[in-house]
Structure 1
């Protein structure tokens, strides 16, 4: 029996009584480090599994590339199209023979179940697998980039940027927490809401925070000044998916990111930075959010009415009449 078979028909309860989305907790959270009980930092021992569609996984892959860890931690890629089993699995269908060439598995759940025989949640990416025993050791997407930036520093490439500088770590952590709750997870709170009230609350929080960051970025190039930090990686992973996916699929439709003067230019700036745009697969993102039947909750069975876009601008002046230099008679 594969992990996929074992989890068929099961899905964790992630919707609260008020209709709000509550993301499941990570199962494998042992930190990397040198202390007893921590995961040893050893080149070639681990494989990072990701999907180009997933924002949580994407940010780990961005950091891995920016810091030059490609030859230290191998990378396995699952398809953006999950199998027809609601909210259950990721599949290695992009690889030859439909299996990961290092782990020899077809479904990601096989690793989760073999590591924890009682696991019943969604197998998630990113997940770090110890290739020596094919066991999942860390799927803590919230802290994984910090481990790569800090504990894996001995393996960073020469002149690698400091994405998590010591003197800013407290401030970065505080901003990351806000970005997570209101933006990274905020779009999912909108998309997976099971009540109108829960959706509108998440919608308002999301755009209030985007407005705050729009103002912040009017004064500086990146979130903490003239250099990229871990916070920029986390924000980018959501913003780059916003116009292509969340705006319509998750009903986050007050504004497109490209309609924000500063946020729109900020995304372009990061996209053109090595490690960001070259790890961004917009085709995979669109397939996942618009074609994967496991990502949109039952085709809006809860009948959530989109709150945006704001249409008052339809009454604002325009200059289209200048094209012909005259107006039609019926307009007079």
Structure 2
């Protein structure tokens, strides 16, 4: 029997994601009341969450660590809130809260929706500013430019934005959210339709080294965070089991290429990813048992994608190693 404290995720028929987020933006000119400023905000993320993983990657690639601090929620949560289980006393050392929910309610006392990560909190007020993860990373690229590290890549080049936006919409609809439509389907028909759409999209993705242009862009970040979770979680837990990622040669090489690129694999914690999905989704996995496999050491094997050309960081440079407090377990 599912644990009621963990919430429920499977819906009758087709899974439909609530895509209404707090759309306040942090911008260079502060037009929404929140100007880009160093040390003013705290990014709250969870390494388990694919949507939050995007912000961790982009923050690393652009070098925003010195100006935008990071609070990490633990991999599991109940139906009310993500919590800061990893910190001493289970309290975020900067925000002084155990439940991320507190920051939402501080600004919106009657907040009616789920408490999601990533979220950005105004440190001085303790209020959530935004949880609009799709806009968040675009703003990191376009509004936080004064604080980018020297050599930061351009992840959202102006001349490619229309193409990136169009691809991002498709990848979200068919892949990022597609795996959830499989896993949280409440009927056979809904599952079958989601399964067909997911693999049709995976089969037609580009075979060039990067999705748009010859450098890493926002589009690669968004696809990567789903692919890196595919075999450890989605293949079994969400029943996306036509093929493992390791059985799709082009996508498997593409994913390894990114994983081995500084800023990508060094944000991924496979242990937290598995714990989150298998423990939290008790209506999908009632026992809460976390599977021991698969073997993940193959993420470090040669991918051969260099032969396709391309320049990962364009005219920029790789980010430096993660700061010690943000390192993840290293694959053997």
Q: TM > 0.5 between the two?
A: yes
Aligned to 2:180: 188
Match of residue 261, structure 1, among 246, 249, 259 = 249
State the shift of 1:289 in Å.
1.4
Aligned to 2:312: none
Cα deviations by residue, 1:239-271 (Å, 9 ceiling, x for unpaired): 000000010010111111111111001111000
State the shift of 1:203 in Å.
0.8
CA RMSD of aligned residues (A): 2.0
Q: Distance in 2 between the 1:188 and 1:210 partners?
A: 15
Moved over 6 A (4+): 8-14
Q: In the superposition, relative to structure 1, how do residues 12 and 112 fare at CA in structure 2: closer, same or farther (>3 Å)?
A: farther
State the shift of 1:108 in Å.
1.1
Alignment of 1:130-209 (within 5 A): 130-209=122-201
Q: In the superposition, relative to structure 1, how do residues 107 and 185 fare at CA in structure 2: closer, same or farther (>3 Å)?
A: same
Aligned to 1:295: 281
Match of residue 238, structure 2, among 250, 266, 276 = 250
Q: In the superposition, relative to structure 1, how do residues 36 and 82 fare at CA in structure 2: closer, same or farther (>3 Å)?
A: closer
Cα deviations by residue, 1:27-58 (Å, 9 ceiling, x for unpaired): 31112221532521111111000110000000
- TM-score computed with the length of structure 2 as normaliser: 0.81
Match of residue 52, structure 2, among 38, 47, 57 = 57
Computing the radius of gyration from Cα coordinates, the structure with the larger value is 1
SS state of the match for residue 297, structure 1?
coil
Q: In the superposition, relative to structure 1, how do residues 53 and 13 fare at CA in structure 2: closer, same or farther (>3 Å)?
A: closer
Q: Distance in 1 between the 2:270 and 2:72 partners?
A: 15
Gaps of 5+ in 2: 287-332
Instruction: Assess if the C-alpha contact under 8 Å between 1:249 and 1:296 holds in 2.
Output: no
Gaps of 5+ in 1: 1-7, 301-332
Aligned to 1:237: 225
